[in-house]
Amino acid sequence: MTILQKELLHELSNSVVEMDDERTTELAEQYVENKFDVYEGIANGLAHGMDRAGKLYEEEEYYIPELLMCSDVMYAGLDVLKPHLDYASTANKHKAVVGVVEGDTHDIGKNLFKIMLETTGFEVIDLGRDVPPIDFVNKAKEVGASVIGLSTLMTTTMDNMAVVIELLKKENIRDDVVVLVGGGPISQSYADKIGADGYAPEASAAARLAKELVKELKKSA
Amino acid sequence: MNRRKIVEKVLAAKMVDYIPKGEIVITDGFINQFKAPHLENVLEYLGSDIVTISINSTKEDWKYWRNKEYFVFGLVQGPFTYLLEKMGFHSICKYIVKKPNELEEMMNEYLKKMVNNLELALYYGCDGILFADDIAGNRGLMVSPRFLKNYYFKVVSNFLDQIHRENTSFIFHSDGNIVELTDTIYKSGFSGIQCLQPSTNISINSFSNEQLQKLCFWGNFEFEMKNSELIETEVTQLLKDWSVCSRYIFSSSGGLYEGISKERVKNAYLIVDNYRKNL
């Protein structure tokens, strides 16, 4: 790796953390002009910056608005880099199906989780909000998902997470997919109670957990 | 002494052997459990001391509730929630990070429009103001404390200054954990905090003795997912915990909704009444 590439990766990461969209676009263009590895630019530049922003969020240096602005900036950089991606290098991405369970339309947590999953290297299929349990199962089967991410902010709808898990069992695909649950009223004990594979109190930790659990899933397959 | 006088005394820390009860909101979903589904029937059934109605209610509404001898709170929607609904979450986040001064101006404009309604409400029978703005979630503040202190509470404090009344209580409500803002809330002109969502680890232990002296605390209980036995145990413990605070009002943290059993709420209210008698 040349010094210039290292510097550009470092600057891309910084410009995401600093929420500077113009600077990020300029740096991404410069990166492409120099014909550097685009996947590396995403992973070690933009996503690296997003990861740092996620840590700042965990440390309560950044809050949701700052995190969203960082993700906007990351996407601005992605718009420049993506057209130059060699898609063969991303063909083996794991797929994750995410959504807010039926009865709930609060999707901030789900959206953050989606961004974190994408930056962690997943291809994410976002089913949106108020999603019936069967839709998670059908979509996971259709795309061969490794992860299902279920989100809710309401106690009145959290039981729909258990319904999704029961449906996965009925379809005999429970062991093929990692189920992660999250959202305001969700806790580790609730995740254990309904037989989910994982829970994390916030999006970046949940995305990291998804990555670890998928590795375990592959080992045991 | 009627309910209003009792709540007034508790708010002013002048009566320590009574714990008033009343909700920030009672939704139609909860009210529809009743054969005669009217707010007044619900309040009577529960034995509430408080009624909370919108600050935009009519002159007749204020007068009506005033005559019923409840302590009448006027519910004001805060600027953050208003602008969030108007602009969308993404847009408001952009303003918070990139253009906080413009957002400050928008919050100012919104609250300026509320002054007139608030003055009328206070004139016609509103006893206290419940200023509701969800600025936090289960994990804590949604927005940085820096923004909240430098912009949000600056605007809110100016608003409260404009409508200040010597004997009117201004209570701040937000879901989620806002404990770190307690002193800021007090300095902004509020005399109490409503909600105190226990699922975000808020309890009496979250506050210093000084804060417990200065402010009124209202809520700190969640009915959701609890059976009668658990409610009885938790309410009894809650009352015991808060007994060191002379300005505590019992209620659910976020209001009564469809799916919360009226019998269980009634039982909780009875425990509060009996607790008082046992003091």
Domain ranges for chain A, please list them: 3-89, 93-220
Chain B partners of A69 at a C-beta cutoff of 8 Å? 93-94, 97-98
Domain ranges for chain B, please list them: 3-78+107-132+160-259
Q: Taking CB atoms and an 8 Å limit, are A155 and B93 in contact across chains?
A: no
Mean pLDDT calculated for residue range B164-174:
89
Specify whether the CB–CB gap between B153 and B180 falls below 8 A.
no
Q: Taking CB atoms and an 8 Å limit, are B96 and A65 in contact across chains?
A: yes
Per CB distance under 8 Å, which residues of B are interface residues toward A? 89-90, 92-94, 96-98, 137-144, 147, 199, 224-225, 257, 259
Q: Taking CB atoms and an 8 Å limit, are B92 and A65 in contact across chains?
A: yes
Q: Which pLDDT tens digit goes with each residue over B35-62?
A: 999 999 999 999 999 999 999 999 999 9
Tokens found for residue B79: 């600027």
User: Residue A90's pLDDT is what?
Assistant: 53
Q: Predicted confidence band at B231 (pLDDT cuts at 50, 70, 90)? A: very high
Q: What is the mean pLDDT of chain B?
A: 93
User: Residue B184's pLDDT is what?
Assistant: 97
Specify whether the CB–CB gap between A182 and A94 falls below 8 A.
no
For residues B98 and A113, the model is more confident at B98
Mean pLDDT calculated for residue range B6-11:
92
What's the gap in Å between the CA of B97 and the closest CA on chain A? Answer: 6
Q: Predicted confidence band at B133 (pLDDT cuts at 50, 70, 90)? A: very high
Percentage, residues of chain B above pLDDT 70: 98
Interface confidence, given as ipTM, is: 0.84
User: Residue A183's pLDDT is what?
Assistant: 86
CATH of A93-220, one of 3.20.20.140, 1.10.1740.110, 3.90.199.10, 3.40.50.280: 3.40.50.280
Is the pLDDT reported for residue B240 higher than 80?
yes
Chain B partners of A156 at a C-beta cutoff of 8 Å? 224, 257, 259
Q: Which of A56, A59, A63 to mutate to test the interface with B (most CBs of B within 10 A)?
A: A63
Of A65, A153, A185, the CB nearest to B97: A65
For residues B1 and B120, the model is more confident at B120
Q: Nearest chain A Cα to B148, which residue?
A: A63
* Residues with pLDDT less than 70, chain A: 86-92, 108, 119, 218-221
User: Residue B34's pLDDT is what?
Assistant: 95
Chain A partners of B141 at a C-beta cutoff of 8 Å? 63
Is the pLDDT reported for residue B25 higher than 90?
yes
What CATH architecture does domain B3-78+107-132+160-259 belong to? Alpha-Beta Barrel (3.20)
Specify whether the CB–CB gap between A152 and A186 falls below 8 A.
yes
Chain B partners of A155 at a C-beta cutoff of 8 Å? 224-225
What's the gap in Å between the CA of B174 and the closest CA on chain A? Answer: 15
Q: What does DSSP say about strands B140-141 and B136-137: parallel, antiparallel, or unpaired? A: antiparallel
Percentage, residues of chain B above pLDDT 90: 83
Mean pLDDT calculated for residue range B204-227:
94
User: Residue A107's pLDDT is what?
Assistant: 73
Q: Taking CB atoms and an 8 Å limit, are B98 and A184 in contact across chains?
A: no
Rounded to whole angstroms, the Cα distance separating A180 from A151 reads: 9
Chain B partners of A60 at a C-beta cutoff of 8 Å? 140
DSSP secondary structure, chain A, as one string: --HHHHHHHHHHHHHHHTT-HHHHHHHHHHHHHTT--HHHIIIIIIHHHHHHHHHHHHTTSS-HHHHHHHHHHHHHHHHHHGGG--GGGGTTPPEEEEEEBTT----HHHHHHHHHHHHHT-EEEE--SSB-HHHHHHHHHHHT-SEEEEE-S-TTTTHHHHHHHHHHHHTT-GGGSEEEEESTT--HHHHHHHT-SEE-SSHHHHHHHHHHHHHHHHHH-
Q: Which of B195, B225, B253, B258 to mutate to test the interface with A (most CBs of A within 10 A)?
A: B225
CATH number of the structural domain A3-89: 1.10.1240.10
**CA-based torsion, A93, A96, A97, A103: positive or negative:** negative
